[in-house]
Structure 1
Amino acid sequence: MDELQLIAERTGLVPLAESDALGAARARLMAEIAATETENVAPLKNRRRWVWTGVGAAGLAAAITAVVALAPAGMEPPTAAADPVAVLRAAAAAALKTPDKSPKPGQFVYTKTKQPDGVRESWLSADGTHDGLIKMPDGSADLVPGCRNGRAQVYKGAEPLKGVTEPCTPRPGYRADLPTDVDAMFAHLNGDNADHSGEKGDYNAMGKDVLALANETYLPPAVRAALYGAAAKVPGLRAVDDVKDAAGRPGVGITWPLGPGDDPKVAKPTMIVFAADTFLYLGGNGTAVTASGVVDAVGQRP
Structure 2
Amino acid sequence: MNEQHDNKAAGAMDAEAANRDTDIAEIARLLPAPARWDLSREQHLQHKEQLMQRIDHDQVASRPRPARRLLRPALLVPVTALALGGILTAGIVVATGDDAPATTATRQHGTSGTSSAAVLLDQISLAASKGDELTVRGDQFVYSRDKSMGADLSSGKAVAEPLRETESWVAQEPGPLLKMGVTKTDGEKAENINAQLGDTEGTPAGLSRPTYNWLASLPTDPDKLLTYLYAKTPKFEGEERDQAVFEQIGSLVGALMPPKTAAALYQAAAKIPGVSEAPDAHDAIGRKGVGISRDDKTFGTRTEWVFDKKDLNFLGSRSYLVRDTRYGKAGTLMSSSAEIAHAVVDKAGQAPATSQQS
Category of TM-score, reference length = shorter chain: 0.5 to 0.7
- In structure 2, the residue matched to 1:144 is 193
Is residue 184 from structure 1 mapped to residue 218 from structure 2 by the alignment? no
2:270 maps to 1:232: yes
Show the counterpart of 1:167: 201
Shift of 1:140: 6.2
Query: Which aligned pairs between 1:100-249 and structure 2 lie closer than 5 A?
Result: 100-116=133-149, 117-129=163-175, 131=179, 132-137=181-186, 139=188, 141-145=190-194, 166-171=200-205, 172-174=210-212, 175-191=215-231, 193=232, 195-198=233-236, 202-215=241-254, 217-249=255-287
Deviation at 1:294, TM superposition (A): 0.7
* Aligned pair partner of 1:98 in 90, 108, 131: 131
Deviation, 1:240, is 1.3
CA gap of 1:209–1:137, structure 2 versus 1, over 3 A, is farther
Q: Specify the code of the residue in structure 2 equivalent to 1:123.
A: W
* Conserved 8 A contact 1:114-1:120: yes
Distance 2:217 2:183 in 1: 23
- With 117-126 and 220-229 compared, the bigger mean Cα shift is at 117-126
Q: Does 1:253 align with 2:299?
A: no
Q: Which of 270, 273, 276 pairs up with 2:309?
A: 276
SS in 2 for 1:114: strand
For the residue of structure 2 that corresponds to 1:270, the secondary structure is strand
Work out the CA distance in 1 between the residues paired with 2:246 and 2:346. 31
Aligned-partner SS, 2:296: coil
Give distance in 2, aligned partners of 1:139 and 1:221: 33
TM-score (norm 2): 0.50
1:214 to 1:237, Cα distance in 2 relative to 1, 3 A: same
CA drift of 1:138 comes to: 8.6
Q: For residue 337 of structure 2, what is the aligned residue in structure 1? A: 287
Distance, in Å, in 2 between the alignment partners of 1:273 and 1:128 is 30
Could you say if the C-alpha distance between residues 233 and 137 of structure 1 is closer, same or farther in structure 2, counting changes exceeding 3 Å? Answer: farther
CA distance in 2, matches of 1:197, 1:90: 29
State the alpha-carbon separation in 1 of the partners of residues 311 and 289 from structure 2.
9
Deviations 1:227-277 (A, max 9, x none): 111001011112111322112222111111315x32x3xxx2111111111
> What is aligned with 2:153?
none
Q: With structure 1 as the length reference, what TM-score do the two structures score?
A: 0.59
Report the Cα distance in structure 1 between the residues aligned to 2:190 and 2:304, rounded to whole angstroms.
27
Whichever of the two has the greater Rg, that structure is 2
- Per the alignment, residue 156 of structure 2 pairs with none
Tell me the distance in 1 between the aligned counterparts of 2:202 and 2:195. 9
Amino acid of the structure 1 residue aligned with 2:147 = K
1:96-118 deviations in whole A, cap 9, x for unaligned?
10000121111111111111321
**Count of aligned pairs:** 197
- Post-superposition shift, 1:218? 2.9
- Asked if 2 retains the 8 angstrom alpha-carbon contact of 1:183 and 1:230, the reply is yes
By how many angstroms is 1:146 displaced? 7.1
Unaligned runs of 5+ in 1: 1-81, 153-165
Against the structure 1 CA distance between its residues 179 and 118, is the aligned structure 2 distance closer, same or farther, given a 3 Å change threshold?
same
What do you get for the CA RMSD once the two structures are aligned?
2.6
Distance 1:198 1:220, change over 3 A: farther
The match for 1:63 is: none
- How far residue 89 of structure 1 moved from its aligned partner, in angstroms, is 1.0
Distance in 2 separating the partners of 1:211 and 1:140: 28
- From 269, 285, 296, the equivalent of 2:346 is 296
Instruction: Describe the shift of the 1:97–1:137 C-alpha distance in structure 2 as closer, same or farther (beyond 3 A).
Output: same
